Homo-oligomer: A and B are copies of this chain.
């Protein structure tokens, strides 16, 4: 209720700040009987963790996850699963200069005005570090969905600043530091160069990320408010720095005619997927396709005008170990959020309609 719990039936309640002793989450509602250990979770956290290339923050965090509860003899028991991730790199001296001032484009300003108090160390609660527990919870959701429906999640970068990144195939995503679905060496070199220049300039840049879920059962979603796409939009817009969300054709649907946009059906399945896998707020069984816009990081070395708590003008430069493009590390986060939305709706559907109908009907296959 107070904004730190995600999901209704598969509920993830997170806690922690960037530079406190630990961050973590409690997952309530994971079905019993799922084989689970830290080894199922750690690889997802490793994809998100800092320091994997020179293009992301150099903060040193092993992000070792520990399961504190909810698993007995390697199997979930249906009781809450607590995940704990100790903070190792708690250096906060880099942030000393921001305790009394507000970084332009940063939550500093709003936290201060909302609460009258804030933890300035590393952005405190507003740090992107808080996506780590979510990625852990998402790993559990993914595993359950995979075992039950064969659902798979994938994400890739489609735009880095003003560089468009064409989609060539999912197999390329982990072969480059940008999670680009491309093997175009010239393009990747351009991205490297752009990032290096940006880092030297002490500036940052935005990114567009595509996220897809395959093998989604038909029938997930609620008709009016907890529409599947509404909940996806909520999940994605809730990721730090996201400013836009599209489902299927997205903003391109504005210029489409009804005779073009509406995906026709044949006995072999849907002919196209402008809908992005959701009609009337309910999944069609096709791929769920989502695109998100991520703004440039607000913590940059470039000096900027701001004010202090008393309203006096100051110049703010943020030193420290920040991502010049937070979008680079966003792919596992976006996948995790999508998985959390889907498992919640899968459980809700089961509550309402029983197990039987959570099966993809034959005709729901998408014509390639």
Contact = CB atoms under 8 A, between A and B. Distances in A.
Interface in A180-210: 198, 203-208
Contacts of A256: 205-206, 295-296
Interface string A20-53: 1111101011011100000000000000000000
B159 A254 contact: yes
Contact of A253 (B10, B118, B243): B243
A68 B225 contact: no
Nearest to A219: B114
A347 interface: yes
B205 A257 contact: yes
A110 interface: yes
A103 B275 CA distance: 13
Interface hub of A230, A262, A271 (most chain B Cβ within 10 A): A262
A276 interface: yes
| Residue among A32, A105, A222 having the largest count of chain B Cβ atoms under 10 Å | A105
Interface string A221-248: 1111111011111111110000111111
Q: How many copies does the complex hold?
A: 4
A280 interface: yes
A282 B230 CA distance: 20
A350 B349 contact: no
- Which of A121, A232, A245 has the largest count of B CB atoms less than 10 A from its CB? A245
A95 B253 CA distance: 25
Contacts of A244: 244-247, 250-251, 253
A253 B302 contact: no
A120 to B, nearest CB: 8
Contacts of A232: 237
Interface residues of A, number: 160
Nearest to A241: B253
A301 to B, nearest CB: 10
Nearest to A72: B119
Interface string A73-99: 001111111100000000000000000
A26 B2 contact: no
27 contacts: A3-B221, A3-B227, A4-B26, A15-B68, A15-B79, A20-B68, A20-B69, A21-B66, A22-B82, A24-B82, A26-B26, A29-B352, A32-B117, A78-B353, A105-B279, A109-B279, A208-B254, A231-B234, A233-B234, A234-B234, A238-B281, A243-B248, A258-B296, A262-B296, A265-B305, A266-B313, A350-B351
Given A33-B116, A262-B300, A274-B295, 13 more contacts: A1-B28, A15-B69, A31-B352, A33-B117, A78-B115, A107-B282, A126-B281, A227-B237, A229-B238, A243-B246, A254-B294, A258-B300, A259-B302
